[in-house]
Amino acid sequence: MESMTTVWGEVDNQPVYLYTLRSGSLTAVISNFGATVVTLNVPDQTGKVVDVVLGYDTLKQYEQNNRAYFGGTIGRCANRISNSQFTLDGSVYHLTTNEWPNSLHSGLSGFHMRVWETVSFTNENELTLRLESPAMDQGFPGNLEITASFKVTDNGMTITYSGTSDATTIFNPTNHSYFNLNGHKAGSVVDHLLRLQANYYTPVENARSLTTGEICNVLYTPMDFTRPKTIGSEMTPSFRQLLYTDGYDHNFCITKYNGDVTEAAQLTGDQTGIRLTLKTNEPGLHLYTGNYLNDDIGKGGEHYYKYAGVSLQPQFYPDAINHPNYISPILHKGETKAFETQYLFDCVS
């Protein structure tokens, strides 16, 4: 079957498309609205094809339900910035506040709510989208040009974000897909097996999941995924960090980070045997277990409740711009940076 381009609708008088990328038995459907992963079909251990990402059926649902971020590209800066402000080169910049008093994922008009320009759709399995973010968009300095490239292969999908700016700014994009490797209609992911290549994490100060600025060892805590365990096995409110957030909503520090693409996580569906290996060249991985999903009506009319999917978001540490001890998310004037995430699939019995 050939790859397809389908007109999905229109936003602000701009056409919105669905692009179907295929390689072997793996299929991804990407929209230029939000550079969003709408569908990701992967074969399970019996050969049955399973859609492993949460999402919506219609463009209107994505427009109206922008706080779930299903499959969207987050930018300019993923995660939270304290008090919705930061200082860069001696100037203070004020951002949109959408999680008082902080800015989450750069506000409600983030990149996941924009119509991206299609640069190319080639070889039936590669798509590149582009977005121009003008100076002071969302409160950030610099005219930023970002591309999002999607490539599907027989065993996975790679997303590469590349950005350049005419003034020093922050550049910290990520993809916000929620995975349920038993299928998006399968219910809770608490029995998924998870391993993280992370000996440290950044604790949060309260229920708003803003980091304290510390970097803490996972040893002897429920944050320790250095050996595989089910997501829900230690999800206990007796551990204050999980009481704050009613599940995992924390950044983990990738142990072998050196700027090259390295393994960060492995996630395995307990029913299908589908295993996702995530590799990235970013320093952190935010683990979010869908704690605030609340009867969201998803694809096929499916009801997505708490823990219906798990989001593994490669990115810089939360609020890194305000913590000198964290790896810097700064993109300097005229510099180009590229961040790559590989989602690789196989099956285990």
Answer yes or no: is 270 a known binding residue. no
Token duo for residue 79: 């995660």
Answer yes or no: is 80 a known binding residue. yes
Reduce the DSSP state of residue 321 to 3 states and report it: helix
Answer yes or no: is 176 a known binding residue. yes
H or E, element range at 242: helix 240-245
Answer yes or no: is 248 a known binding residue. no
Distance CA 58, CA 66 (A): 13
Using CB atoms within 10 A of its CB, is residue 105 exposed (0-12), middle (13-18) or buried (19+)?
Answer: buried
Token duo for residue 152: 């599907």
Answer yes or no: is 79 a known binding residue. yes
Nearest by Cα to 214 from 127, 326, 118, 112: 326
Taking a C-beta distance cutoff of 8 angstroms, is the pair 72, 36 a contact? yes
Answer yes or no: is 19 a known binding residue. no
Taking a C-beta distance cutoff of 8 angstroms, is the pair 72, 176 a contact? yes
Task: Give the Å distances, CA to CA, from 295 to 112, 156, 178, 292.
Answer: 21, 29, 15, 10
Provide the 8-state DSSP code for 198: -
* Annotation: binding site: 79-80, 176-178, 249
* Annotation: binding site for beta-D-galactose: 79-80, 176-178, 249
